[in-house]
Every structure is written in structure tokens, then in C-alpha cells.
Structure 1
Amino acid sequence: MNHKSLILMSISLSLSTSVYAESSIKNSNDIIDFSDPTVIYSSVEAAYGTEGATLGLGLAIPINESWGALTKYEAKEDLNLHRIRAAATNTDIGTGFMLDYIWDTNFADLGASSHSLVLNGLQVVPLSEKLLFVPMIGAGFTTNDFAENQAAIGMLQAMLVYNVTSDVWVNIIPQYSYSFNDLRLENTAKKTIRKYEFESVVGYRFNNNQNIRLLYKYNENKDHEATISYTYAL
């Protein structure tokens, strides 16, 4: 059985703009720095890659002067995988939290379902004018139609963001996922989740509120994924 989709968790919040911005909510009239995961914005998104097509819609609302909230829905992998995220960030301190739910309706390419729910927290640490370090930690659970139980899972991630110019940035994102208990699968041995992934992103902003991103992902099972995406901030 192919368990490549066993746990699909967030790499980034798909949020953006300067850590020291006056407001956490940005719109199409603002110049949005898509490289920094602390300011949120409403958006529409389309992507295509080796895993199929993706459509996304995000809605951002202010909580107070420092905190903003985002709800985002994505239909991924040719609309077979559904992802819902609810996030809150504080631009004054560069902190963010996100609840990430994923429902895969074609798990292991067998038409089965899997469910994952993870709560993530991140902190933006500016290392220089152009370089950011963004550690993230998460915990939650995963299960699927072939499993007899739920596995508690954890995730560690370290993102480096380098702004090449004001409109071009690069992300380097190693991530490690693991389970605190075994996932008991029907008629097979227990499954222990230990998964290392590496992701790199090159992004280009244009017209102040739009961007194109090229993504490449690789994991220890030698799976390769490439995606091109377009985002329009509303």
C-alpha cells in the first residue's frame, strides 16, 4: 500500500507581509511582501503540478490592531484532497498559530479517505534585513480507512526566507514528521510515521498584490513534487 499521503501537514501559513507592518490585514491596494508569514490577506489561488490542479480561496479579517485571522480552503490534487486552515497572526511580535485540517478522498490512490488535524505555532526571527528564520512546531492526529486507530503526530519545521530583491524571494524549508504511537492497519503490520521532507520555493511579486511561485518538494522516499502557483490578493 502506498502511504505517501498518510500525513499531509502545513509547510507555511500562506500568509504574508512585513513583520513590523502597522496592520496585519492587507488588501489589493497594499504592496504585499509575500515572503513573510506574519500578515494575512484575502486571496484567490490556482496551481498546477505533478500532483494535479489546486484551487484556493482565503478570507482575512482583523481581530484587533495587532492580530488578524485567516480562513482558507484549498481543493488539491485534482480536487480529491480538501484542506481547511484557520490561522491567526500578530505582526507586532511575529507570532502565528494555525489549525490545519486535511481530508484526502483518494488516499493511497485507492478511493479511500484519510483525515489529519494539526495545530501549528510559528515565530518569525529576523536575522538581517533580507533574511528571516521561521521555526514552526505542530501536533495533532491522523487516521485513514485502513487504520483501526488514530495516530498522534508531531511536526518540526525550520524555514529560511531570503529576499533577493523587493519582488523576488526564496524559501528553504526542511520538515520532519513523526508519530507518538503506531497506526494499526487492517491485515498488516503497525505503521510508525517517520517522514523527512525538503521544500524549496522561488516567488515573484508583480503589480503589488499578485505573485507566481515555483515549488519543488523532495522526501526520503525519493518522491519528487513540482508545482507552479498564482495568487491574487483581494
Structure 2
Amino acid sequence: MTRVLILGGTGDARKLAERLVERSGLHVTSSLAGRVREPQLPPGEVRVGGFGGPDGLADWIRNEQVSAVIDATHPFARTMTGNAVAAARSAGCPLLVLRRPAWQPEAGDDWRSVPSMTAAAALLPELGERIFLTTGRQGLAHFAELDLRFLVRTVDPPEPPLPPRTTVLLARGPFTVDDELALLREHRIDALVSKNSGGSMTSAKLVAARELGLPVVMVQRPPRPDAPSAGTVEQAVAWLDEVLRGHAG
């Protein structure tokens, strides 16, 4: 039985697992970080929790005799990706980084590109009073000192520190443009903050901001890891096929 490890929790990771578990002779394990209380589980074997850094992950790869690792974590999961690259090299195991393409501004967009959450927070006071913060639970401390009104949307309740004037909306995508337009109007949002995650699950907010002429503070992704990469599930499957053909040969 050939073993493949998918590091995920993203929609692309679930789609990849769905494609692979149907194959005979292939054992697929999806590893989730455990940061979401009720994650959407992929098919196949699932493990939850960390490995103990790159050394622990390398040991797991060796002990489980993994033939290939596909890192399909969030584009901003910099630490996990770094650990995966180091572990795969240590274990001598092929690794692919699956990252969906980043969003690109379109005609009519008013994007303010920033390199970090800190830079995003510094820019907000000049953009308005009511901010739609869609960067997830982690990193909200960067905005905790701002005396602005924040609408924070997350899957699970965020932990402090939070901005003093915060309304929390618990929701999981995908979202529609009509719903996003209604939300922005209801809360009289002046500006939106987003990480450049890419994909279609949460892109409707960008269309809604464009239609309403709202500025979007876009936090850019960390640098690409020094490892083979793919932008789609189909490309990842093709890479894996090539790796497995090499093993067979």
C-alpha cells in the first residue's frame, strides 16, 4: 500500500483527498492542525494536531513509510509549510506545495496592498470608522489598539485581545455576492481587510467591495517556499502520478 500524506484543512486539501482515496493501492492520510473546533473532514484517514516540529514530522514520514507529501495548508501557514519542506528533505521524501493562485485586482478595485497585518492596522485610521475584518481568528491582536468599529467574521469565536469595539460574526464560506453586499450595507462598512488567500470560497466580498467602491486592505502572502509547487488540484494529482511512476520504475 502506497502512503500519501496531505497537510491540509483547506478546500483544496479536501478536494485532493476526494480524488485520491478512490484509488486502489493508495492510502491517504490528511493531517489537520486542529485550530477549527468542527472542521470539515476529508475522506480517508484523518489525524489532528501537530507533529512536534520538522524533526517530529520527518520521523512520522519515515515511520509511516510515506511515499509523497502534499502541503495543501493555507497560503499563510508559513510555519507549517517551512516545517514540511524541512521534514521532507530530511526524510528524503518528495514534497509538493499546493497553493491556489492569489487574487488579482480587477478594474474598479481599490486595493491597498500591504506586507503584513501590522501594516494593515497602521493604514486603517485613514480609511474610515467601520472596518470589516476578514483575516480569521489569528492576528486580531494587531488591531486591538485601534479605536475603530470592527465587524470580525470567523468560523470559531476569536480569543482576546480584540479591538474594544468589535462585533463578531460566526460564519463559514462560501458566501454569495448578494449576501456580502447586504452585510456591508447593514453594517455601513467603510473599508475591508483581507488576506490574499485566493480561491472562490470567500472572493464574493471583493466583488461586493468593488460594487460599493470600498477600499480593500489586502495583506500579501509570505514568500513562496523553496519547493516544487502547483496551483490546482489537477496539477497536484499529475505531480503525484509522476512521483509514483518513479517509485514503480
Structure having the higher strand fraction is: 1
* Same-fold call, TM cutoff 0.5: no
Structure having the higher helix fraction is: 2
Structure with larger Rg: 2
| Superposition TM-score, scaled by structure 1 size | 0.30
Tell me which of the two structures has the higher relative contact order, counting C-alpha pairs closer than 8 angstroms and 6 or more residues apart.
2
| Superposition TM-score, scaled by structure 2 size | 0.29
